[in-house]
Structure 1
Amino acid sequence: MDYQQLILTRLLEKYEESRHFYGDARVNRKVALKFNHKEFPWYDLERVEVKEAVHFAVKKLREKGMIKLKWMRFEEGNILEEVSLNLAQLESVYQLAGRKPKGDSLLEVHSRLAAIKKTVQIPWIEKFLKDSIEHLENTKSLPRYLPKEEETCHKFLSALAGIEEKGSDEMLERVFSRKYLGSSKEMERKVRSRLVTVIKEFFPLDKDLEDEVVLEYVGILKTSEDLLFRGPLEIDLLQERIDFAPFIFGTSLNTETIKRLIVRKLKVDKVITIENKASYLAYIKDNDRDKELAVYLAGFYSPVKKMFLEKIWNFIRVNSPETEFFHWGDIDLGGFKIFLQVQNIIPQVQPFLMDVETLRKYVVYGDLIEDNYRKKLTALLEKPEYRIFYPTIKEMLGLGVKLEQEAIEI
């Protein structure tokens, strides 16, 4: 083991966290490394060969003028108490430690952020870059959203630049990763989780959205997405009229079709969005639902599902405003949040089978709620947007259960 390099590295880590680095040290306090188990566990007094190797290393560093030594009282030359860094020799210390100065690394990150910011037009990326640059300038430290590891930080910033460059085009995640990060798996390995966090914060998006849905909002797709539905919908697609009424067992549309379609006819009494696939399939088995449009959401809707719902809503509110809209989801925190998401598009939507009566009827199939979950439920009673679910939430708290919609017979 290279004890000289190890000792200098630990000292530089302390220096980079000290007021000396940030330039606001009020006293000339030394940057010291104590030779105890917490700060330098490699210093093992029971192993003579290790102890002597450490002593040899610190003496060499002292000869080079990089550190000062302090021995334990009455143990001069036998037991080390601490070493302190010679701040006047920082450049030489960094070189011998084989470590890039933190100031240089921060300057490189700042330059990269500024370079991307000059060309960026996507608002959430611009805000992230602006906040990150301000944080760097004010604190001389990396913002919490940027990776500390240099290569990973570079990859992350390359992903942001890639999202800006591709604009509104959609790309499969592995294609995006290969084009902008150099390998089809780099996105998943090094960037995905942090990127999702930043998008949720700066886009902003609901913190409960699945990672795949979040990435879809910026045009990065895990796989090509299909939307499942059943109902007498007629559309125009590239000058062709298509009638889906004969598809009584349901059908699907892909992303490009949804983008290009124009709703031409939809004579229904009811539109219902359904959270879970098993419940959707059970619902559409009833062939007497000719006057209904049923849409499978798969949880929180993605951008393409949002586009489809907006097209349906915009057609119906003009041509048949008497049509009723419903959403059917789990009787739980997620189900309530998904309902509010649908309500953002369709203000008049009402919950379906998410009431007190349904909860009581199927309570034996419910899952018990824990204390932390109970606190989150209780907090919803203070939020007016959840008012429609107040009775159900109170019943959940009283019964101590939540209920997945698959338990409900339809």
Structure 2
Amino acid sequence: MKRDYRHYVINRLLDNYEKSKHLTGNNMINRRVTLPFNPEKFPDYFIDSIHAEKEFINREMMELEQFNLIEIVWVKSQKNHLIDKIFLNVENVPQAYELVERIPLLDEITILTNMVSQYHGQIQTGWIRRFLEDSLDQLEKKKIPRWLSKDYVQTKLLLQALHGIELQVGESLPERLFSKKYLGNSKVFEKQIRNKMISIYKKYGMSEKLADIYVDQNNEGVLQEIGIVRSVEELCVYGSLVYEWNGTQLDFSSFPFGVTVHSQLMKASRVTDLRAERILIIENKTVFHEYIQSLSRIGNLLEKKIIVVYLGGFPGPDKRFFLRQIQDKFDKNGLQIEVQFWGDIDWGGFRIFLHLQKSVFPQLRPYRMDTATFHQHLEWAETFTSDYQAKLEQLLENTDNSEFHGLIREMLCTGKRLEQEAILL
């Protein structure tokens, strides 16, 4: 089956037309819309052994010229035999669109502008408004924004998802529940909208602090910032902390193995009392439980002076809200509190530390994340790849990580990284 060269040529010419100043009426020097004939665009046309193909293409082009859609420029002394280039007849552009059954770009822009405008008036959330306003500005300049699509179903789904975030008003929903509620299907968001949404938020909504933290991270943390979670956020808390929820005082010190705090409780409750001198935030759940059991063995005096929190990776908005309440309570009482973070001795552990330090606890210090601990448990450390090595080397370029620079150099020398659990062995 032969290729439809008429459609191919007209579509390429229309592509060039839509990129030109003809579309906006600013073509002051009357530059023509051109498609050169060369081996890159028409390889079969220049193969002598398939002469019949060249003749077929010539006939197709001459037919388009008879329809007054194009003008053929032949190679000098090769008329009716070898085409040099083709010009689009811009006076008959509507007929060209009709021939290839293609919607004119200006019509597409009008449709997309109406779709975006419909939602723009319903949105108050800053980053979503910035995205919509930038999209309208680009459409006014006759450009289709990067995240909008000529597939209007996809664009409609994206706009519905953005509107859903607006309606959440700071609340979080599991990803599939969000998708079912606002897009009508539990898997549509994950499969079709998720990556676009993350990219839009990174450009229009993410602060410089968060952008620096989430670089090269998986995107679950970014979704949490938006208000969409893969699963409900939970913290485990141990120590002398009193929480008030719905008029009820919850004294965490009454629970010798700690308390699991649901994300809804984090947002709906407030810290009313703290009787601690130190906060230790732990990345790993197993280490958290082992540590509080060790406190019980040491005795009650030490237990009453510490709050221990299991974090479980990068803290989303709900976890940060909970932790800020603790920091704010000490600040309000004019008290200084020692805050430490204990994580893996690896790239992720360093990044979580920096995230907490920038977003919640500026006085944060590392705990058991030093060269002595690293060498003491080196036999249990794991090797890393060259790609991972490059990520560690990049941390050395950032002065924010300076307290870990010595440790990072030791890791690079040994080619090893150490997980928290190894320290328990």
Tell me how far apart the structure 2 counterparts of residues 302 and 42 of structure 1 sit (CA, whole Å): 56
Label 1:298 to 1:23 Cα distance change in 2 as closer, same or farther (>3 A): farther
Q: Residue 372 of structure 1: which of 385, 390, 393 is its match?
A: 390
Answer yes or no: is 1:267 the counterpart of 2:244: no
SS state at 2:137 partner: helix
Instruction: Give the AA of the match of 2:70.
Output: I
Label 1:240 to 1:147 Cα distance change in 2 as closer, same or farther (>3 A): same
Answer yes or no: is 1:300 the counterpart of 2:302: no
Label 1:41 to 1:232 Cα distance change in 2 as closer, same or farther (>3 A): farther
Instruction: Give the AA of the match of 1:160.
Output: L
Answer yes or no: is 1:235 the counterpart of 2:235: no
With the length of structure 2 as denominator, give the TM-score of the two structures: 0.83
- Which range is displaced more, 385-394 or 120-129? 385-394
The Cα shift of 1:326 comes to 0.8
Instruction: Give the AA of the match of 2:251.
Output: D
Identical counterparts, % of pairs? 33
Label 1:406 to 1:10 Cα distance change in 2 as closer, same or farther (>3 A): farther
Q: Residue 348 of structure 1: which of 363, 369, 390 is its match?
A: 363
Answer yes or no: is 1:386 the counterpart of 2:386: no
Matches within 5 A, 1:83-162: 83-138=86-141, 140-147=142-149, 149-162=151-164
- Which range is displaced more, 258-267 or 34-43? 34-43
Contact 2:39/2:45, CA 8 A, preserved across alignment: yes
Tell me how far apart the structure 2 counterparts of residues 98 and 124 of structure 1 sit (CA, whole Å): 37
Gaps in structure 2 of 5+ consecutive residues? none
Gaps in structure 1 of 5+ consecutive residues? none
Instruction: Give the AA of the match of 2:176.
Output: R
SS state at 1:189 partner: helix
Tell me how far apart the structure 1 counterparts of residues 353 and 336 of structure 2 sit (CA, whole Å): 20
RMSD: 3.1
CA deviation string 1:41-90 (max 9, x = no partner): 56585556654543343232112110122344554434444322111111
The Cα shift of 1:11 comes to 1.4
The Cα shift of 1:217 comes to 2.0
- Which range is displaced more, 317-326 or 82-91? 317-326
CA deviation string 1:249-295 (max 9, x = no partner): 34412122222223344433432112233433443442337333222
Label 1:157 to 1:275 Cα distance change in 2 as closer, same or farther (>3 A): same
Label 1:22 to 1:42 Cα distance change in 2 as closer, same or farther (>3 A): farther
Answer yes or no: is 1:213 the counterpart of 2:221: yes
Label 1:9 to 1:42 Cα distance change in 2 as closer, same or farther (>3 A): farther
SS state at 1:306 partner: helix
Contact 2:344/2:369, CA 8 A, preserved across alignment: yes
SS state at 1:61 partner: helix
Tell me how far apart the structure 2 counterparts of residues 21 and 372 of structure 1 sit (CA, whole Å): 47
The Cα shift of 1:378 comes to 2.6
SS state at 1:253 partner: strand
Instruction: Give the AA of the match of 1:405.
Output: Q
Aligned to 1:199: 201
With the length of structure 1 as denominator, give the TM-score of the two structures: 0.85
SS state at 2:303 partner: coil
Aligned to 2:261: 253
Aligned to 2:339: 325
Q: Residue 290 of structure 1: which of 293, 299, 303 is its match?
A: 303
Contact 2:176/2:189, CA 8 A, preserved across alignment: yes
CA deviation string 1:199-232 (max 9, x = no partner): 1222213333542222222222222332223334
Answer yes or no: is 1:38 the counterpart of 2:32: no
Aligned to 1:54: 57
Contact 2:233/2:319, CA 8 A, preserved across alignment: no
The Cα shift of 1:400 comes to 5.3
Aligned to 1:70: 73
Contact 2:384/2:415, CA 8 A, preserved across alignment: yes
Provide the aligned length of Structure 1 versus Structure 2: 406
Aligned to 1:314: 328
